[in-house]
Structure 1
Amino acid sequence: MNKNYIIVGGSSGIGFEITKQLSESGNKVIVLSRSKGNLDTLSNVKHISFDITSELMPEITVDSIDGFAYCPGSINLKPFHGLKLADFQQDFEVNVKGAIKTLQHFVKQMKNHGNASIVFFSTVAVQQGMPFHASVAVSKGALEGLTRSLAAELAPKVRVNCIAPSVTDTPLASRILSSEEKKEASGKRHALNRVGTAEEVAKLATFLLSNDSSWMTGQIIGLDGGMSSIRPL
């Protein structure tokens, strides 16, 4: 049976790959994002223009929602002494406040549905301390806390899980993966000797959004080439 999904930030990077995989399986997807990107190349996809830093949500009426994924993120890598409070505030706006605002708009329909799934995105840098990641780790750490709290509060009707990737080859990471040399150097920091792809992360997200993961909730799942648990020799 075809399902209905909300993907926030679904026009680029991992979000676009999630939208693509869901639509190719015959599902209907509503994408909220600033730009439309290549969404016209996909079937069963409706785009709604929305900036997550805006205070107002667009008017969206959906009778039933099977799954919700919040994909916007930030990579704000600076030494702690160079970070201003505004940097922390901006990362929190994008990673946490935007997730709360959009999910609150749809959570009632998901609870009424009775068998829905929510997917958030964190980073390996929350559990694996890394220099220059203070601002993004603070906000993504808050999102991990939100994942567990909502998983407890919304069970058993709604499952909530979070993926914590390492660096992934997406437009968001283009500045730090801007050449083959940089990609190779970044890949060598991982046990599997390469960076991840948007398609790989999206496959895990679509699994978590589906009934195939129906006995999984409250989990922070590392998808990081082994970085969080393995030290290559």
Structure 2
Amino acid sequence: MQDKNILIIGASSGIGHALAQQLQAQGAILFTAGRTQPEAIQSTHMTWDVTKTPAVDAFTQLPDTLHGLVYCPGTINLKPFQRLTLDDYQRDFDINVLGAISAIHASYAAIKKSKSASVILFSTVAAKLGMGMHSSVSVAKSAVEGLAKSLAAELAPFNVRVNAIAPSLTDTPMAGLLLGDDTKREAANKRHPLNRYGSPQDIASMAAYLLSDQASWITGQIIGIDGGMGSLK
């Protein structure tokens, strides 16, 4: 990753921050975008609220060439179907799908110019499995998976790879209510075949790999990093 220009949207916490730390240690040149500048990360930061401003208006400090783009923002909005409103579905779609589209639009020319870029989006294991109270996030993340595959096909002639990572429950600030005490954490561990929920580093390590030249023949994939939950009983 030495001297590669990588844009991470949502690097201030969770998976995005863990990835920024890994890439910084590997010598990448980082550009970050989000509401808050990430701590202990050396980056060119662009303030952006995905729900308020088109990325093209915020991404004013991008380099001419980008070797990687990672879109990390997501939502966890778990309610029974009858309690989810149309506004809930719209918000999840805006953040997970339209935000990613906005970011890719704003970075499109710089990504294509590299002729070897990697774009990484994030889905969820709940887009593959039927999981109660996940209908809104599953709808949004299923759209992310469709976006990743379609873009992978469209950008393959330019040697630009597009993949999505589909984690299970991961110990990030967004998952705080689901891992709020020892009882909840133990129950979360037991739901996974490998008997533990995920760490930000687990997911970030796969993202770092997909950004690297070692993954130069991987595109159009939805990769489950989920402790076995998506495939094992």
- Indicate the residue corresponding to 1:143 in structure 2: 144
Return the offset for 1:49: 1.3
In the alignment, does 2:128 pair up with 1:127?
yes
Q: After the TM superposition, which residues 50-65 of structure 1 pair with which residues of structure 2 at under 5 Å, given as runs?
A: 50-57=48-55, 58=58, 59-65=60-66
| 1:186 pairs with one of 174, 185, 188 | 188
> Structure 2 unaligned runs (5+)?
none
Return the offset for 1:229: 0.9
- Indicate the residue corresponding to 2:9 in structure 1: 8
Alignment partners' CA distance in 2, 1:37 and 1:6: 13
Alignment partners' CA distance in 2, 1:129 and 1:188: 18
- Indicate the residue corresponding to 2:41 in structure 1: 42
Is the contact made by 2:161 and 2:220 (CA closer than 8 Å) also made in structure 1?
A: yes
Return the offset for 1:61: 3.5
Return the offset for 1:4: 0.4
Equivalent AA in structure 2 for residue 218 of structure 1: G
- Indicate the residue corresponding to 1:95 in structure 2: 96
What SS class does the counterpart of residue 10 from structure 1 fall into? coil
What SS class does the counterpart of residue 29 from structure 1 fall into? strand
- Indicate the residue corresponding to 1:223 in structure 2: 225
Alignment partners' CA distance in 2, 1:60 and 1:104: 15
Return the offset for 1:37: 4.1
Return the offset for 1:56: 3.0
What SS class does the counterpart of residue 120 from structure 1 fall into? strand
- Indicate the residue corresponding to 2:110 in structure 1: 109
Alignment partners' CA distance in 2, 1:14 and 1:61: 22
In the alignment, does 2:25 pair up with 1:24?
yes
Alignment partners' CA distance in 1, 2:38 and 2:110: 28
Equivalent AA in structure 1 for residue 8 of structure 2: I
Return the offset for 1:60: 2.9
Instruction: Report the identity percentage.
Output: 47
**Range that drifts further, 71-80 or 102-111:** 102-111
Tell me how large the CA RMSD over aligned residues is. Answer: 1.0
**Range that drifts further, 56-65 or 192-201:** 56-65
Equivalent AA in structure 2 for residue 227 of structure 1: M
**Range that drifts further, 159-168 or 105-114:** 105-114
Equivalent AA in structure 2 for residue 200 of structure 1: D
Residues paired across the two proteins, number: 228
| 2:162 pairs with one of 146, 160, 163 | 160
How has the CA–CA distance of structure 1 residues 47 and 55 changed in structure 2, closer, same or farther, with 3 Å as cutoff?
closer
Alignment partners' CA distance in 2, 1:6 and 1:211: 16
Which protein is richer in helix relative to its size?
2
Alignment partners' CA distance in 1, 2:3 and 2:81: 47
What SS class does the counterpart of residue 126 from structure 2 fall into? coil
Residue deviations 1:75-131 (CA, integer Å, cap 9, x gap): 000000111000000000110000000111111111111000000000000011100
Return the offset for 1:180: 2.0
- Indicate the residue corresponding to 1:198 in structure 2: 200
> Structure 1 unaligned runs (5+)?
none
Return the offset for 1:42: 2.6
Query: TM-score, length-normalised on structure 2?
Result: 0.95
Alignment partners' CA distance in 2, 1:214 and 1:176: 36
